[in-house]
Amino acid sequence: MQKAEYIRSGKAKDIYRRPDGDLVFVFTDRVTAFDGEKKAEYAGKGAVCCKLSCFWFELLEAAGVKTHFKEFVPPNELVAEEVELLPVEVIARNFLYGSLWRRCKSGELEVGSEFIAQGAGKKGKKEGLPLTKSFVEFTTKFEPVDRPVREAEILARGWLDEKEVEVVKRETRRVGEIMQSYLAQRGILLADFKLEYGRRRSTSSKSASSGRGEIILADEVGTPDVCRFWEKEAYESRREIISLDKDVFRQGKGDLLEVYLEVCERILG
């Protein structure tokens, strides 16, 4: 790494700023779950996630998605334009699973009929049910513990305006469609995924709605740390969920590094 100033550390990445103003994301071997209650390290895990994230950024940019990505520095450094991260994360869910299923089952959240296949009805709602389109929701980013946050609160706090919320949701679904299409050819289902966005700091790039800076894709994308990947054949043939992501670590279902390496090999070919 070039001479760089340490900025901060996240759950799985350390961030530095170079003299030229670009950020360097160093993907570490750290892995956490349950809001940091479960922790471990797997040698080589950071390099796998960095390589995958850089691959997806390049693929998405080629498809016209604007991102902060600039350069991959092997084995585990991603160089990016510095942006002002939005105080919310975005989660797109393609299946009724995880916290979405738990909240739906308890009655805390209603998954509307536009997401459920015709004929399924309330009785047809069950864990692992595929949704007809991505259910996009938001969580807080900079609070001690992330929590689901409704669009009304986002607007009230001024984090985003209405047009920006729609832009983020539309772009998230677009990213998901690109990823789903690619992954399906490699025998992987994209059950859900998390994205982060940031505002460009340059005054020459303005969002059409607020003038507060253009919102672009940032941080990390398409890794087993921020996506739920499932074995496609197992799910489609017998509705069996075989995890190819961090759920292996969360649920103690196998060796995380072995799974991550398999995913990387299948995606990159």
- The rounded distance, in Å, linking the Cα atoms of 169 and 216 is 12
Question: Which of 26, 54, 80 is at the close of a domain?
Answer: 80
CATH code of the domain covering residue 138: 3.30.470.20
Domain with 68, as residue range(s), is 5-80
pLDDT band at 223 (very low <50, low <70, confident <90, very high): very high
Q: Tens digits of per-residue pLDDT, 201-215?
A: 865 444 444 468 999
Secondary structure of residue 141 in the 3-state scheme: coil
pLDDT value for 3:
85
Q: Which pLDDT score is estimated for 209? A: 43
Residues 43 and 67 in one domain: yes
Residues 46 and 160 in one domain: no
pLDDT per residue over 114-143, tens digit each? 998 765 655 568 899 999 999 999 999 989
* Inside any domain, residue 264: no
Quick check: bond before 148 cis, omega within 30? Answer: no
262, part of any domain: no
In terms of Cα–Cα distance, which of 170, 169, 184, 268 is closest to 229?
A: 184
Do 142 and 252 belong to one domain?
yes
The reported pLDDT for the residue numbered 205 is 43
Lowest-confidence pick of 175-179, 209-213, 248-252: 209-213
CA distance 116 to 193: 19
Pairing of strands 148-149, 129-140: antiparallel
Q: Does pTM top 0.75 for this prediction?
A: yes
Residues 221 and 93 in one domain: yes
pLDDT: which is higher, 202 or 254: 254
| Mean pLDDT, residues 10-32 | 97
For residue 261, tell me if it sits in a domain: no
Question: CA Rg, the chain, in Å?
Answer: 18
Place of tokens 């071997």: 29
| 63 in a structural domain | yes
| Mean pLDDT, residues 88-95 taken together | 98
Q: Quote the CA–CA distance of 197 and 171 in Å, as a whole number.
A: 10
pLDDT at 258 over 60: yes
Residues 60, 100: one domain? no
Domain total of the chain: 2
pLDDT at 121: 53
| Domain stops at, among 31, 64, 80 | 80
On average, the pLDDT of the chain sits at 93
Return d(Cα 241, Cα 33) in angstroms, integer: 19
How do residues 30-77 score in pLDDT, each as one tens digit?
999 998 899 999 999 999 999 999 999 999 999 999 999 999 999 999
Cα-based torsion angle of the residue sequence 221, 127, 165, 23 in order, rounded to the nearest 10 degrees: -20
Asked if 242 and 211 sit in the same domain, the reply is yes
CATH code of 45's domain: 3.30.200.20
Alpha-carbon distance of 44 to 41, in angstroms, equals 9
Take residue 214 and report the two structure tokens written for it.
Answer: 């253009």
Is the predicted pLDDT of residue 241 greater than 50, yes or no? yes
Q: How far is CA 183 from CA 4, 91, 114, 229, 265, in A?
A: 35, 18, 24, 9, 12
> Does residue 74 share a domain with residue 118?
no
Q: Examine the domain organization and report whether 28 and 156 are in the same domain.
A: no
Do 63 and 160 sit in the same domain of this protein?
no
For tokens 């990947």, the residue is 229
- Indicate the residue type of 217: L
35 and 124 together in one domain: no
DSSP, residue by residue, 60-107:
HHHTT--BSEEEEETTTEEEE--EEE-SEEEEEEEEE-HHHHHHHHHT
What are residue 25's DSSP bridge partners? 15, 78
> Is 117 found in the same domain as 93?
yes
Q: Is residue 179 part of a domain?
A: yes
How far apart CA 220 and CA 234 sit, in angstroms, is 28
Q: Which of 31, 60, 80 is the last residue of a domain?
A: 80
